[in-house]
Amino acid sequence: MDNLFNRKYIVQGLFIVVALILVGQLFYIQVASDRYFLSANSNVLRKKYTFPARGVILDRNNKVIVQNEPVYDLMVTPNLVKEFDTLAFCNIIGIDMKGFHKRFDKARNQSRYQRTVFEKQLSVQTYAALQERLSRFPGFETQNRTVRHYPDSIAGQFFGYVKEVSAKDIEDSEGYYRPGDYIGKSGVEREYNDVLRGERGVENTIYNAKNVPQGSYLDGKFDTLAVSGETLISSLNIDIQKLGEQLMHNKVGSIVAIEPSTGEVLAFVSSPTYDPNLMVGRQQGNNYMDIFRQPNRPFTVRPLSGYYSPGSSFKPLDALLGLQEGVIDPNTTFNCPGYYWAGNHQVKCEHVDGNISLRKGLARSCNTYACYVFQKLMTQKKFKNKIEAYDSWEAKVRKFGLGSKLDLDMPFERKGRLFTSEEYTKRFGKYWGYTTIISLAIGQGEMSATPLQMANIMAIIANRGYYMKPHLIKGIGEKKNVRKEYLTKNYVDVDTRHFEPVIDGMQDAVNAAYGTARASAIPDILFCGKTGTVQNPHGKNHSVFIGFAPRDNPKIAIAVIVENAGFGSSYAAPIASYMTEKYLTGKLSGNRGERAEWMKKQVILPDMPKPKVKLPPYQADSVKPVPVQQPVNQSTSIN
Amino acid sequence: MSTQQGGRFFFNVDWITILIYIALCAVGFVNIYASIYNPDNSTLFNFSSNYGKQLIFIITALIVGFSILLMDAKFFSVFSPIVYGITMLLLVAVLLVGRKVAGNQAWIPLGSFRLQPSELAKFGTALLLARYVSSFNPKFRDFKSIMFAALIVLFPLMLIMLQPDTGSALVFLSFMFPLYREGLSGYFLLIFLGMIVLFIADFLLPITLIIPVILVIGGIFVYQNRRKQKVMFSIILTTIIAIAYLFLVRVAYEKVLEPHQRTRIEIMLGQKTDPKGAGYNVIQSKIAIGSGQITGRGFLEGTQTKYGYVPEQSTDFIFSTIGEEWGFVGCTVVVALYLFLLLRLINLAERQRSTFSRVYGYCVASIIFFHFFINIGMTIGIIPVIGIPLPFISYGGSSLWSFTVLLFIFLKLDSNRMGFI
């Protein structure tokens, strides 16, 4: 043996080192990294999604008010596309060659082997034309989807709209949503999105290297069928909703009608409105901008977010609190010389009635009477100071749902406005008293309510002392579930017996010869209500009416606001009476049908700001500008 | 009498090596079956399919192998120049009458089979090299003996390059190991290693960094040997050659290599990605192997294998099937089997009394090692794609038979180690 024998170890050592290098690299790609494992799955698996139909929405009489309509997405698998007659293809789907290449490149950049959307939401007609010739366009196929259709073209703000998910929605959903899914963006579609959306179906198919399907993955173990969304039964009565929108046509304002015994919202009119069908389909984006640019902001949901001083319609509350506190009784009279002196300033009254009682005071909407009651409430001996007196008053008013959200099942509800004593001290300093804030007695000043809150106050009076939380959906799914919170009575801590005298006054307001809304009486039905004429420093007064009917066992409580329409009796009260009669009897009696037609034709729109002139902010609030709002002009809009 | 005679013939045969050989063939069969497996018509065992053919190849290879064990050991030494001569003639013939398959003129059609002379040339060369060393006992210190050995190896290498089959030609570089064992200076191996390192460095690093590094290393060696003028001179020369090589290799790279070979090298070095084109094989192979994870997806459960994502899977890329279906565990077992076989072959070679047997043993181990390293390295992306089969495992008769013949001749020589050749 020579010393060359030792070279054996070098050769064997080399073999060992190489084997270790191989095992090391194998360890890296097989054990340390799962990148290759994931790549293998994406090589082989193709997921095909089937989209669920969104839940149908019915009105309270089970009439379909939202349904689904088939549309077809055109899909393309780029690597399967072979030469074909692109011109004919473009003509069918209505795009040009440039558009074709743009779409095709986009799809190819996404994936050569996976199906991607080429063109969204082809109509049934386009689909039919395409389907005949689809075999001539290899690589293209269609995928069924559904979009919303609103047969009555009404209640846009109630429904809201559905849109494809944004990148942010996908991120927020933590993997639930995928690009192309739909999501409710506003209104009921948003609030009940989780029950309406249903479940997406998925089919896992294995593909071989030549992109030929090889059957389902693990015999369909992970496949699911699409599950349609739940049906919703809304509380709306589609007949009065439609009437309400017609009556409010060419006017700005809201109508909210509630069934007092249940809190179910019967009508939810926000004017100006828009056809919800415009927010569906390929033109959604363009239509959105068109509606967005319109004056008076059709997208604003006024019943929830419009701020109005309640005005005279607040007076029943004065009376109720006065009776409950015992500072007045039904027979108490005050002298009205046509004004009320609050310290050194005068609150004017529309009339001189001399000694006036509660019943007549409400019927005639006497400011003096309301101010006296407020004065008495604020100067009760049991209070040590004005702060305590105000805090007590404020707490009682809040019980009626003012100044806080009613938790309607709709997004973007606003809470209205009611000052606390601290806020007054901040504004006026140490020296303020009931005379400083006497405007509150007549529903003006630092008080704003949404139309929903006003309608709810009517429901409280109709129920003689409590309300059910107002809601728009009274049944979810087959079991017709309803949220629990809508089944409890919310008491306002005013005794039932105190309501009758107030209701007497409200009955007279509509039905007595001297009532403010005499012209809006409904034949054979005791319609109780209260007009309001809300001062508006920015233009004509708002016309307000709140009421309920019939007097005994009321079926409907209603609030109507017509902006810039002057007296409550001139527009709001008649509109409320037509709505009420239609709801209770299904028709309008006598010549009231013609009068309603006349009302539909009236145009009461705020003066349009002239272009390029900076104007004070548009706002519904009658007293104080809301700071976030910006000037409106013709070409650009706000919010 | 026959048992006695059989006992004599198989006396001293290294059964452990034969067991490893059979194990590797079995691994090959199982994975070829999986590579070709089609869920739609899997019921019948089909001899016309590739796994059926492979089974025939394995059986005939065993017959050939055991026939070799029955032959006289002296035959190989005596007839080695003739065997070498015949294989060289076949290499020439294939250039004249061969059939072109996938760009390589490597096959001679023989009835229903095709003969691949480059496979035969490996053991022809191994035999002649062993005969040369055992007859002349050169120590490879002189230029003449190195030249002679180089001629034996480079002649078939050149002929194969003409086909052109670069992969098979490269295998002939593995004869450096037996020559090294017999006395060739270790510097040849080091120079070879250095050339590869410089080649890769030239790719990945700027030349302005490599040259100073070479100069610094050279300087250190010069300083250490400053009293030995002759050594110092050769170090300086080596340094200059190394720097010249850097530039030469660039020219050679552009002029000598085919575009597809350049692409393969660039992909391996991560300079280029081409997942749809030249890089497809390697990426799919890595995906298949990587997706096996620790224990693999299981026999016939590999999705990449079943649905044809790795091209050439039953032949050059058979290791990707092993990787996907048997995972890291299976891969390690296969690597360990090879390593065990290689170490065993070296040990067997070292126990030979005859130089011929020892050199031949080294040749066998080196050829198998080269295939093993390059093939597996290629499937896991650490070696550029060089199309040579994985010994005993890849599908194909020529490859299996030639490796069998190569191995069993050595086993015959080994069983006869007590006698003189």
Q: Tens digit of pLDDT for each residue in A68-96?
A: 888 888 888 887 888 788 888 888 888 88
Whole-number Å distance between alpha carbons of B249 and B244 = 9
pLDDT at B42: 56
Q: Closest chain B residue to A39 measured between Cα atoms?
A: B287
pLDDT greater than 60 at residue A467: yes
Answer yes or no: do B180 and A207 touch at CB < 8 A: no
DSSP H or E run through B267: helix B259-268
A22 in contact with chain B, both atoms CB, cutoff 8 A:
yes
Whole-number Å distance between alpha carbons of B365 and B411 = 12
pLDDT greater than 60 at residue A635: no
pLDDT at A490: 87
Q: Which CATH class is domain A46-234?
A: alpha beta
When pLDDT is cut at 50, 70 and 90, the band that residue B132 belongs to is very high
Q: Is B191 left (phi over 0), alpha (psi -120 to 50) or beta?
A: alpha
The mean pLDDT of B264-292, rounded to a whole number, is 79
pLDDT at A621: 40
- The identity of residue B282, as a single letter, is V
- Exposure string (b/e) for A163-199, b if CB count within 10 Å is 16 or more? bebeeebbeeeeeebeebbbbbbbbbbbbbbebbbbe
Answer yes or no: do A7 and B290 touch at CB < 8 A: no
Please state, as a whole number, how many other Cβ atoms lie within 10 Å of the Cβ of residue B190: 10
pLDDT at B45: 65
DSSP H or E run through A356: strand A354-357
- Stretch among A36-45, A485-494, B139-148, B271-280 having the lowest mean pLDDT: B271-280
CA B398 to chain CA mean position, Å: 14
Answer yes or no: do A4 and B182 touch at CB < 8 A: yes
pLDDT at A60: 86
Give the mutation candidate from B133, B283, B291, B382 for the A interface (greatest A CB count, under 10 A).
B291
pLDDT at A2: 56
Long-range contacts of range A214-222, CB-CB < 8 Å, 24 or more positions apart? A214/B39, A214/B307, A217/A45
Q: Which residues contact A118 (CB under 8 A, 6 or more apart)?
A: A74, A75, A76, A103, A104, A107, A140
Q: What is the largest CA-CA distance in chain B?
A: 78
When pLDDT is cut at 50, 70 and 90, the band that residue A637 belongs to is very low
CB-CB neighbors (< 8 A) of B351 in chain A: none
Q: Which of A15, A30, A39 sits opposite B369 (nearest CB)?
A: A15
pLDDT at B40: 63
What is the DSSP annotation of B126-184? HHHHHHHHHHH---S-SHHHHHHHHHHHHHHHHHHHTTT-HHHHHHGGGGHHHHHHTT-
- The identity of residue B278, as a single letter, is A
pLDDT at B276: 64
Q: Which residues contact A145 (CB under 8 A, 6 or more apart)?
A: A51, A70, A71, A72, A73, A121
CB-CB neighbors (< 8 A) of A10 in chain B: 180, 186
pLDDT winner (highest mean) among A307-316, B46-55, B332-341:
B332-341
pLDDT at B20: 96
Q: B323 to chain A nearest CA, in Å?
A: 8
Whole-number Å distance between alpha carbons of B16 and A306 = 93
Answer yes or no: do A26 and B332 touch at CB < 8 A: yes
Q: What percent of chain A has pLDDT over 90?
A: 4
Answer yes or no: do A4 and B362 touch at CB < 8 A: no
CB-CB neighbors (< 8 A) of B335 in chain A: 19, 22-23, 26
B94 in contact with chain A, both atoms CB, cutoff 8 A:
no
pLDDT at A566: 78
Whole-number Å distance between alpha carbons of A638 and B277 = 55
Q: A46 to chain B nearest CA, in Å?
A: 13
User: Hey, what's the torsion of the CAs at B185, B188, B191, B196, to 10 degrees?
Assistant: -140
Q: Which of B180, B307, B336 sits opposite A7 (nearest CB)?
A: B180
pLDDT in tens, A335-370: 888 788 877 787 888 777 778 888 888 888 888 888
CB-CB neighbors (< 8 A) of B287 in chain A: 36, 39-40, 43
* Burial (CB count within 10 angstroms: exposed 0-12, middle 13-18, buried 19+), residue B360: buried
B101 in contact with chain A, both atoms CB, cutoff 8 A:
no
pLDDT greater than 60 at residue B177: yes
pLDDT at B41: 59
DSSP H or E run through A163: strand A162-164
Tell me which residue of B402, B182, B14, B127 sits closest to A8, measured CA to CA.
B182
When pLDDT is cut at 50, 70 and 90, the band that residue A617 belongs to is very low
Answer yes or no: do B303 and A16 touch at CB < 8 A: no
Whole-number Å distance between alpha carbons of A238 and A135 = 45
Token pair of A22 as six digits: 């191989």
ipTM, two decimals = 0.91
pLDDT greater than 80 at residue B217: yes
pLDDT in tens, A450-460: 889 888 988 89
What residues pair up with A76 in beta bridges, in sequence order?
A: A116, A140
Q: Are A258 and A455 contacting, i.e. CB atoms less than 8 angstroms apart?
A: yes
pLDDT greater than 50 at residue A605: yes
Q: Closest chain A residue to B354 measured between Cα atoms?
A: A1
Do strands A232-234 and A57-58 pair parallel, antiparallel, or not at all (unpaired)? parallel
Q: Closest chain B residue to A16 measured between Cα atoms?
A: B339
Whole-number Å distance between alpha carbons of A350 and A183 = 52
Give the mutation candidate from A7, A14, A22 for the B interface (greatest B CB count, under 10 A).
A22
Whole-number Å distance between alpha carbons of A569 and A298 = 25
Answer yes or no: do B339 and A19 touch at CB < 8 A: yes
pLDDT at A611: 47
- Stretch among A436-445, B285-294, B341-350 having the lowest mean pLDDT: A436-445
Whole-number Å distance between alpha carbons of B398 and B246 = 39
Q: Which of B182, B323, B377 sits opposite A30 (nearest CB)?
A: B323
Alpha-carbon distances of A92 from A97, A136, A207, A420, rounded to whole Å: 12, 13, 31, 65
Tell me which residue of B417, B407, B404 sits closest to B357, measured CA to CA.
B417
How many Å is the Cα radius of gyration of chain B? 23
How many Å is the Cα radius of gyration of chain A? 33
Whole-number Å distance between alpha carbons of A37 and B31 = 20
pLDDT greater than 80 at residue A538: no
Length of chain B: 421
B292 in contact with chain A, both atoms CB, cutoff 8 A:
yes
Tell me which residue of B337, B273, B252, B292 sits closest to B23, measured CA to CA.
B337
- Stretch among A233-247, A369-383, A473-487, B38-52 having the lowest mean pLDDT: B38-52
Whole-number Å distance between alpha carbons of A82 and B40 = 29
The mean pLDDT of B213-217, rounded to a whole number, is 86
SS3 of residue A280 by DSSP: coil
A17 in contact with chain B, both atoms CB, cutoff 8 A:
no
User: DSSP character for A561?
Assistant: E
Whole-number Å distance between alpha carbons of B345 and A11 = 11
CATH number of A268-601: 3.40.710.10
SS3 of residue A527 by DSSP: coil
Whole-number Å distance between alpha carbons of B380 and B285 = 7
Chain B, window 141-200: residues with a beta carbon less than 8 angstroms from a chain A beta carbon: 177, 180-183, 186
Alpha-carbon distances of B63 from B8, B56, B60, B122, rounded to whole Å: 18, 11, 5, 21
pLDDT at A632: 38
Chain B, window 205-264: residues with a beta carbon less than 8 angstroms from a chain A beta carbon: none
Tell me which residue of A55, A189, A159, A61 sits closest to A474, measured CA to CA.
A61
pLDDT at A625: 39
Q: Which residues contact B191 (CB under 8 A, 6 or more apart)?
A: none
Whole-number Å distance between alpha carbons of B188 and A15 = 18
Answer yes or no: do A15 and B328 touch at CB < 8 A: no
Answer yes or no: do A22 and B335 touch at CB < 8 A: yes
Q: Can you give the residue ranges of every domain in chain A?
A: 46-234, 268-601
Answer yes or no: do A36 and B343 touch at CB < 8 A: no
pLDDT at B319: 94
Whole-number Å distance between alpha carbons of A586 and A563 = 27
Please state, as a whole number, how many other Cβ atoms lie within 10 Å of the Cβ of residue A32: 11
Q: Are A186 and A270 contacting, i.e. CB atoms less than 8 angstroms apart?
A: no
The CA-CA-CA angle for residues A599, A603, A604, to 5°, reads 105
Q: B143 to chain A nearest CA, in Å?
A: 19
pLDDT at A129: 83
Q: Which of B288, B304, B380 sits opposite A26 (nearest CB)?
A: B380
- The identity of residue B413, as a single letter, is L
Answer yes or no: do A40 and B290 touch at CB < 8 A: yes
pLDDT at A18: 94
pLDDT greater than 80 at residue A591: yes
pTM > 0.80: no
Token pair of B301 as six digits: 């459960």
pLDDT at A72: 84
Whole-number Å distance between alpha carbons of A265 and A187 = 14
The mean pLDDT of A410-438, rounded to a whole number, is 83
pLDDT at B131: 93
Give the mutation candidate from A30, A208, A214 for the B interface (greatest B CB count, under 10 A).
A30
pLDDT in tens, A539-550: 788 888 888 988
Rounded to the nearest integer, the mean pLDDT of chain A is 82
Whole-number Å distance between alpha carbons of A594 and A585 = 17
Chain A, window 29-68: residues with a beta carbon less than 8 angstroms from a chain B beta carbon: 29-31, 33-37, 39-41, 43-44
Token pair of A417 as six digits: 């406005």
Do strands A345-348 and A339-342 pair parallel, antiparallel, or not at all (unpaired)? antiparallel
Whole-number Å distance between alpha carbons of A623 and A7 = 103
pLDDT greater than 60 at residue A624: no
pLDDT in tens, B228-263: 888 888 888 888 888 888 888 888 887 777 787 888
Q: B294 to chain A nearest CA, in Å?
A: 6
When pLDDT is cut at 50, 70 and 90, the band that residue A438 belongs to is confident
First to last CA, chain A: 97
What is the DSSP annotation of A205-257? EEE-TTS-EEEEGGGGTT-B--BPPPPEEES--HHHHHHHHHHTTTB-EEEEE
When pLDDT is cut at 50, 70 and 90, the band that residue B367 belongs to is very high
Q: Are A335 and A355 contacting, i.e. CB atoms less than 8 angstroms apart?
A: yes
The mean pLDDT of A110-134, rounded to a whole number, is 81
Token pair of B92 as six digits: 């020439």
The mean pLDDT of A198-221, rounded to a whole number, is 79
Q: A99 to chain B nearest CA, in Å?
A: 27
Cis link prior to A298 (omega < 30° from 0)?
no
Length of chain A: 639
Q: Say how many CB pairs under 8 Å bridge A and B.
A: 119
pLDDT winner (highest mean) among A7-11, A125-129, B111-115:
A7-11
Answer yes or no: do A40 and B350 touch at CB < 8 A: no
